[in-house]
Structure 1
């Protein structure tokens, strides 16, 4: 067995948040408003640009496919796997895949990219003690055996047969082999169409076009990122001409005709620490589910942009169960369950922390207030705590802090398109972001993951039907829609991956734009 992780993502993010100053190659040239620059305003500053953490939204939206690239990528619309830095991949045994790489790729510093770089990238993301988010999200505790056969060929083997290993590998961004597995890199050198130009921590981040890029040159020579917590401020920056794109908006933020709505594949939910009293009593967890008015939240707070959720994945993901209906809203039933638990000695009056992340989605503050009031209405003592990304990370991933009972607002987007990535992370008894599970349910996940095609779909759909009855770790809230604001001078069509991966190379000048 692999040693216990010595370094947690929490400490890394917390440490990086303390850094100040300006870094890397060149100072900004002052052309942030030029026709060759695309200006993007985000809800929060990336805590790091570490490639092995790109499955975290705040990091992936900047790093993935802009600064660094994967060997294989998934088309978010069709679900098809497509070559990127790899040219082909084939299964050469039950557990091993052989991948062949392009021979014309260099990193942005001119260093050639080869199979040794790919092997190190996989090893540091999956097999190291760096506690990479992509490891927990995509691979769990399974190590891979990776070997560079020659400069353009490598083999990757899993401990057991894995029919979707190429899909898992699509989450790993390539870094230089010199980076190694001993420590993280805050500002990576990648093979992507852009490279880091300057980062004034707390202020702005500038990327500049990588003139050694192996692929087609992107149209914009520079991208400048800023961040503002308030959605209305981000929207106003676009309507006032201070930014070209603003992300993470709500329909009420004032983008007007510049607002673009899109299905973003994200599902919001409450994760309950189901091993801590009083949340270790299933009646309490069921009562919490009865108390949440999902339809009311979607209608009143999200203005109809979304749908009440009955599971943690959205339609279009393998394993989605279209026969499930959201948990019914029934305050009286919730009260009765709490009273029953109290009568049996369950400490239902214990203070429960309700933790949300600032800027996690539009109307997050109002959403947690509605939930707090609802839970108070069934007899629970709930206290709201809003935190930034670093503050919520310690509650989000194992090992969880021993701080008493808490409910965590999560938002999960399965961009890979297969329920394995949700089940492994959120439903296994030892999942990276799971607080509870059972041996029987784990065995069901194992069986589903060994299957393909329709059998795989049916097995995962059955598991999503079982979870509310057997585990009840989650109170699902809503399948979300996204809104961004876009200046008319920019041509860009958001898709279900946009929240986690905004590809600058797909942005062009509108034919109606004037310089």
Structure 2
């Protein structure tokens, strides 16, 4: 099997502009969350990826979310399956990093080894958990990746590996160096980040010369800034504010859910987890706090994902049964009166605080003892990833983004016993994840489908909430159309100027 496609350079959302016109083309983008880091290996976290991914840092491959090209070359020109367990990538020549150093296979190997290093906790490494992957330099522009078990979609997995120079230290950096079309020229913590277009970028020069990122937690403020011409793009505003011809809705790939830690009482009791699920009136959020078109979730991945199980049905809101389940568990000695901490991430999505406040109220009405705590992204990570806080039971309110279309980007680190953000330890789930990850064709589809149904119906792994709908406001001086990936990545090369 061999893939080889011509790379046409960075995408432009409009016709190419002359260099003279583009020299003084600055845009301002207003985001809801400030990044706590600008580290490339953390770019799969949405607050970082919107700035870094595809702008400062590039990947070997790239999924086409605007057309039908599927997986496209970026820093890799082509790839082929050498044997069942080894993929070979031919790398693009003539590429330099923003520090002037030349891109080669040693940089790719170092980037992967650094991401997987136990000396730092890189966000992108979670997508490679449960797979033994060994990169080997063949020559300056050729690298092999050997996997155990075999990985039929490894080129897609590598669409998340951000490439840094081999000289990059293992510790997190505050001055990212990449092969992308932009370099970070200024970071004023709490205020703004500025990216400047590189003159020596290997690909086609984007229209935007300078991007200023500013941060406002209130979605109404973000919308008003674009309306007033103080910003050009607000990629995430609330449905309530999306009322003008400057606004566009888009089905994003985010699923909102409550991660349940099954290792702590009373959440270790299946009846309690069922009561959590049926004690939330999900339909009440749609068209009120959340946008029309928001879907009630039955899986952590959106319905377009490979192996989606259409037979899995959402549990109906049933507060009386929820109360009865808690009483039954209490009679058996389960400490259902224990305080449960609900942790939400401030600014994670428009209406996040209101959503978690409503959930707290609903669960309290059926008999749970819920305390809500809204935190910023860095503190949220302390609850979201292992080792978990163990002094009390915790529900972590979060969003999971999988725009790649295969559950392999979700299932191990979310649901395997060894997964970094898993709340369960289930032998059958582990087996299904292991087999599905290595499977191909109809077998892969069937195994993922079985896992979706098992997690929802039998394990009651989490309190799944919503498949989200995004809204963006775009100013009159630019052209930009949001996609399913906009919540996690916003490539400046996709912005056109009028």
Aligning the two structures, in what range does the TM-score lie when normalised by the shorter sequence?
over 0.9
Distance 2:408 2:180 in 1: 28
- Partner residue in 2 for 1:386: 374
Q: Point out where structure 1 has 5 or more consecutive residues left out of the alignment.
A: 1-33, 511-515
Q: Is the counterpart of residue 169 in structure 1 residue 158 in structure 2?
A: yes
- Partner residue in 2 for 1:198: 186
**1:127 CA displacement:** 4.2
**Mapping of 1:263-274 within 5 angstroms?**
263-274=251-262
**Mapping of 1:431-470 within 5 angstroms?**
431-470=419-458
Q: 1:333 aligns with which of 294, 298, 321?
A: 321
Greater relative contact order: 1 or 2 (C-alpha under 8 angstroms, separation 6 or more)?
2
Q: 2:488 aligns with which of 457, 476, 500?
A: 500
Q: 2:414 aligns with which of 407, 426, 433?
A: 426
Distance 1:319 1:51 in 2: 31
Q: 2:51 aligns with which of 49, 57, 62?
A: 62
Distance 1:144 1:308 in 2: 36
Q: Is the counterpart of residue 40 in structure 1 residue 29 in structure 2?
A: yes
**1:324 CA displacement:** 2.3
1:301 match: secondary structure: coil
Q: Is the counterpart of residue 223 in structure 1 residue 211 in structure 2?
A: yes
**Mapping of 1:304-383 within 5 angstroms?**
304-383=292-371
Distance 1:212 1:230 in 2: 38
Contact 1:127 1:144 (C-alpha < 8 Å) held by counterparts: no
Q: Is the alpha carbon distance of 1:36 and 1:416 closer, same or farther for their aligned partners in structure 2, counting shifts above 3 Å? A: same
Contact 1:232 1:254 (C-alpha < 8 Å) held by counterparts: no
Distance 1:285 1:177 in 2: 47
Distance 1:409 1:323 in 2: 26
Alignment RMSD: 1.4
Deviations 1:429-452, CA, capped at 9 Å, x for gaps? 221111113111110111112221
Normalising by the residue count of structure 2, what TM-score does the alignment of the two structures yield?
A: 0.93
Q: 1:88 aligns with which of 75, 78, 82?
A: 78
Q: Is the counterpart of residue 189 in structure 1 residue 167 in structure 2?
A: no
Q: Is the counterpart of residue 238 in structure 1 residue 219 in structure 2?
A: no
Q: 2:272 aligns with which of 284, 288, 303?
A: 284
Contact 2:33 2:348 (C-alpha < 8 Å) held by counterparts: no
Deviations 1:345-395, CA, capped at 9 Å, x for gaps? 111111111110101111111111111111111111001100000111101
- Partner residue in 1 for 2:470: 482
1:69 match: secondary structure: coil
Q: Is the counterpart of residue 140 in structure 1 residue 129 in structure 2?
A: yes
1:495 match: secondary structure: coil
- Partner residue in 1 for 2:15: none
Contact 2:403 2:485 (C-alpha < 8 Å) held by counterparts: yes
Contact 1:127 1:143 (C-alpha < 8 Å) held by counterparts: no
Contact 1:239 1:255 (C-alpha < 8 Å) held by counterparts: no
Deviations 1:34-85, CA, capped at 9 Å, x for gaps? 9610110000111111111111111111100000100111112547111001
**1:86 CA displacement:** 0.5
Normalising by the residue count of structure 1, what TM-score does the alignment of the two structures yield?
A: 0.90
Distance 1:407 1:184 in 2: 29
Q: Is the counterpart of residue 150 in structure 1 residue 135 in structure 2?
A: no
Moved more, 378-387 or 118-127: 118-127
**1:253 CA displacement:** 2.8
Distance 2:245 2:293 in 1: 16
- Partner residue in 2 for 1:10: none
Distance 2:456 2:420 in 1: 19
**1:220 CA displacement:** 1.1
Contact 1:123 1:144 (C-alpha < 8 Å) held by counterparts: no
Deviations 1:251-298, CA, capped at 9 Å, x for gaps? 113662211110111111111111101111110000000111111112
Q: Is the counterpart of residue 72 in structure 1 residue 61 in structure 2?
A: yes
Contact 1:126 1:144 (C-alpha < 8 Å) held by counterparts: no
**1:325 CA displacement:** 2.1
1:205 match: secondary structure: strand
Q: Is the alpha carbon distance of 1:278 and 1:401 closer, same or farther for their aligned partners in structure 2, counting shifts above 3 Å? A: same
Distance 1:482 1:468 in 2: 25
The 4+ residue runs of structure 1 with deviation greater than 6 A are none
Contact 2:149 2:438 (C-alpha < 8 Å) held by counterparts: no
2:83 match: secondary structure: coil
1:158 match: secondary structure: strand
Distance 1:112 1:130 in 2: 25
Q: Is the alpha carbon distance of 1:135 and 1:236 closer, same or farther for their aligned partners in structure 2, counting shifts above 3 Å? A: same
Q: 1:159 aligns with which of 141, 145, 148?
A: 148
- Partner residue in 2 for 1:119: 109
Contact 2:312 2:456 (C-alpha < 8 Å) held by counterparts: no
Moved more, 196-205 or 296-305: 296-305
Contact 1:48 1:187 (C-alpha < 8 Å) held by counterparts: no
Q: 1:53 aligns with which of 39, 42, 45?
A: 42
Contact 1:290 1:327 (C-alpha < 8 Å) held by counterparts: yes
Moved more, 203-212 or 145-154: 145-154
- Partner residue in 2 for 1:16: none
Contact 1:235 1:255 (C-alpha < 8 Å) held by counterparts: no
